Amino acid sequence: MAKLRQTVLVGMSGGVDSSVAAALLVEQGFTVIGGFIKNWSDTKDLATGECAWKGERRDALRVAAKLDIPLVTFDFETAYRRQVVDLLFKGYAKGETPNPDVLCNEEIKFGLFLKEARKLGCDFVATGHYARLKRDADGTTHLLRGMDPDKDQSYFLYRVPQAALRLSLFPIGGLRKSKVRKLARRFKLPVADKPDSQGICFIGKLDMVAFLRKRIPAKPGDITDEAGCVLGRHSGLDGYTIGQRERIQVAKGGEPWFVADKDLENNRLIIVQGAEHPRLFSTSVEISDLHWTLGKPLVYPQPCAIQVRYRQVPVLAVLAKGRGKRVKAVFKHPVKAVAPGQSAVIYRGAECLGGGIITARYN
């Protein structure tokens, strides 16, 4: 017998966004199954001292009970450590600044989670991401920015392949956060006033340097200015990123100091004074490991807008063919604090076309 209604597996984290996403799908008539993903068991809740994921799952169960839907728990911790956390450590060890949330979406939420959805016979997966999808008549699915400019999360979704986008739903992507909160109260969800989560996807808020030291030994070296004059000492280049102001301890005063570069060969941290110093800005970047949301690369040269960090104002640029499979992006105006390892995400208007990993930057 054919299904009367389409079935959706909703990623329910215990937060307000994913809870409202599930509630909206129930209201729209879908058969909804909640899916809680356990990816990390090391983080402790400061208030209770218990593993943070247990509290999040408890909240997800409360919401599922309110909506009268089942909640299935998936233990992806082994895969998350291998496919996300191990790569994070490798990136930092090479002096890069990787983004684990991007990998988590590709490998876990729209990788393993989608596979489990298909095993359950679901037609779609859904999440509480602030992003939108537009489908053509032939099923081709375009990834668009969320309507709330302060919450838009399309930046983190550029590596989700077209095959997964076709099977995805973002129920709150056309809403602002304030509206989502109001809906949570209208649905009388038990997490309606729960604060937003912060920090790394599934791990939470943490001291990044302390986290890195679990796997990457401290390797102290010199802090120098542009001329090579030694001004202080650092405890490891992995604990710094381009444009960083915090944790630069030098005796020389004056204007604030910022990280301008990392000399990996000599283990030196190069710093400059002043937030507008030319060494902090890049006129172009090289991008590798490219992913295209529509499944096919662009034709070069290609005008576009690029974001090199989450919530950064997009910068107009032109993409050109680079070395091998890499592309070069030349910015219309210099961009501040570009760091190798970050994602450069490419847009045309509201549509996310794809992106890649920054491998080099040029002043």
Domain with 224, as residue range(s), is 217-275
Tell which of 260, 275, 290 closes a domain: 275
70 inside domain = yes
Q: Are residues 258 and 285 in the same domain?
A: no
Same domain, 298 and 266: no
Looking at the fold, whether 44 and 161 belong to one and the same domain comes out as yes
Asked if residue 203 belongs to a domain, the reply is no
Q: Are residues 116 and 261 in the same domain?
A: no
Residue 312 in any domain: the answer is: yes
Task: Say whether both 287 and 254 belong to one domain.
Answer: no
The model's pTM: 0.92
Contacts for 23-29: CB closer than 8 Å, 24+ residues apart: 23/63, 23/67, 23/183, 23/184, 23/187, 23/189, 24/171, 24/172, 24/183, 25/126, 25/169, 25/171, 26/67, 26/69, 28/171, 29/5
Q: Is the same domain home to 24 and 128?
A: yes
Active site residues: 104, 201
d(CA 287, CA 326): 6
**CATH code for position 241:** 2.30.30.280
Given the structure tokens 């604990």, which residue do they identify?
239
CATH number of residue 309's parent domain: 2.40.30.10
Same structural domain for residues 48 and 108? yes
Does residue 30 fall inside a structural domain?
yes
Residues 232 and 171 both lie in one domain: no
Q: Write down the residue that tokens 């450069």 correspond to.
A: 344
- 190 prior amide bond cis, ω within 30: no
The rounded Cα 355 to chain-centroid distance in angstroms is: 13
Q: How many alpha carbons lie under 13 Å from residue 139 in its C-beta half-sphere?
A: 8
Query: What pLDDT shows up at residue 310?
Result: 92
294 and 262 share one domain: no
192: in domain: no
Q: What is the pLDDT along the chain (363 residues), one digit of tens a residue?
A: 345 689 999 999 999 999 999 999 999 999 999 999 998 776 655 444 456 778 899 999 999 999 999 999 999 999 999 999 999 999 999 999 999 999 999 999 999 999 999 999 999 999 999 999 999 999 999 999 999 999 999 999 999 999 999 999 999 999 999 999 999 999 999 999 998 876 566 455 667 888 899 899 999 999 999 999 999 999 999 999 999 998 898 888 788 999 999 999 999 999 999 999 999 999 999 999 999 999 998 999 999 999 999 988 999 999 998 888 899 999 999 999 999 999 999 999 999 999 999 999 998
Boundary (domain end) residue, out of 275, 295, 312: 275
Q: How far is CA 266 from the centre of its chain?
A: 31
- For residues 145 and 285, membership in a common domain is answered with no
Q: Does any domain span residue 197?
A: no
Of the candidates 83, 84, 81, 58, the residue with the CA atom closest to the CA atom of residue 71: 58
- pLDDT of 206: 67
Would residue 77 count as lying in a domain? yes
Count of structural domains, the chain: 3
Residue with tokens 């110093």: 277
